[in-house]
């Protein structure tokens, strides 16, 4: 099965095959990566709010914010139009946005941050999550991350509720 997946990925021009699996895939040549995590906190982390991005800014920044981030599944332009209640906060950097984070107030859910052109620091990831949380009323919150290290979020008071390791195979 893994050989067929690798062959299909190569055929479509992929240079890496990324899989979420609790099985150890190292014997098949895969390298372990940070995977998916769902974290929860009994209270929204306190901190400074961040600017809310308008629709045009989201459309410009979103497709760039997750390039190279392992495992995030919502990167196609326009995919976020299907999330009408979502709010997007941005981390400003001069005249540009360094990154953004989605929050869904009705679900009390924060999607892990994405950064334009490079991985963000732990402090920047925390600022985005806290800025997203500022859009919520007090109470519990869920955070999903894709390929991030958990430490930055654990420092904010989150705990890991679910996780699935990531595995990566170079296809060149």
The pLDDT value recorded for residue 42 is 97
The pLDDT value recorded for residue 161 is 97
Choose among 15, 13, 17, 14: nearest CA to 3.
17
The pLDDT value recorded for residue 135 is 94
Residue 1 lies in a domain: no
Give me the domain span that covers residue 70: 33-164
The pLDDT value recorded for residue 76 is 57
Residue 13 lies in a domain: no
Q: Is the distance from CB of 141 to CB of 42 less than 8 angstroms?
A: no
Tell me which H or E stretch contains 130. helix 122-133
The pLDDT value recorded for residue 14 is 86
Choose among 34, 89, 83: nearest CA to 61.
89
pLDDT along the chain (172 residues), means of 10: 84 87 92 93 92 90 78 56 81 92 94 86 94 94 91 96 92 85
Looking at the structure of the chain, the number of domains it has is 1
CATH number, domain containing residue 159: 3.40.630.30
Q: Is the distance from CB of 128 to CB of 115 less than 8 angstroms?
A: no
Ramachandran assignment for 4, one of left (phi > 0), alpha (psi -120 to 50 degrees), beta (any other): alpha
Three-class SS state of 11:
helix
């Amino acid at each position: 099965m893994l050989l067929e997946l690798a062959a299909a990925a190569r055929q479509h021009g992929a240079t890496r095959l990324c899989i979420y699996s609790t099985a150890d895939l190292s014997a098949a040549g895969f390298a372990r990566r940070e995977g998916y995590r769902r974290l929860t906190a009994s209270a929204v982390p306190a901190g400074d709010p961040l600017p809310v991005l308008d629709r045009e800014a989201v459309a410009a920044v979103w497709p760039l914010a997750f390039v190279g981030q392992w495992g995030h599944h919502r990167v196609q332009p326009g995919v976020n139009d299907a999330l009408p209640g979502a709010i997007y906060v941005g981390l400003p950097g001069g005249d540009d946005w360094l990154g953004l984070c989605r929050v869904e107030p009705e679900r009390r859910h924060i999607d892990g941050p994405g950064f334009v052109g490079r991985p963000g620091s732990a402090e920047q990831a925390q600022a985005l999550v806290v800025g997203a949380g500022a859009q919520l009323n007090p109470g519990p919150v869920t955070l999903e991350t894709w390929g991030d290290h958990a430490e930055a979020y654990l420092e904010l008071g989150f705990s890991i509720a679910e996780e699935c390791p990531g595995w990566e195979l170079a296809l060149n």
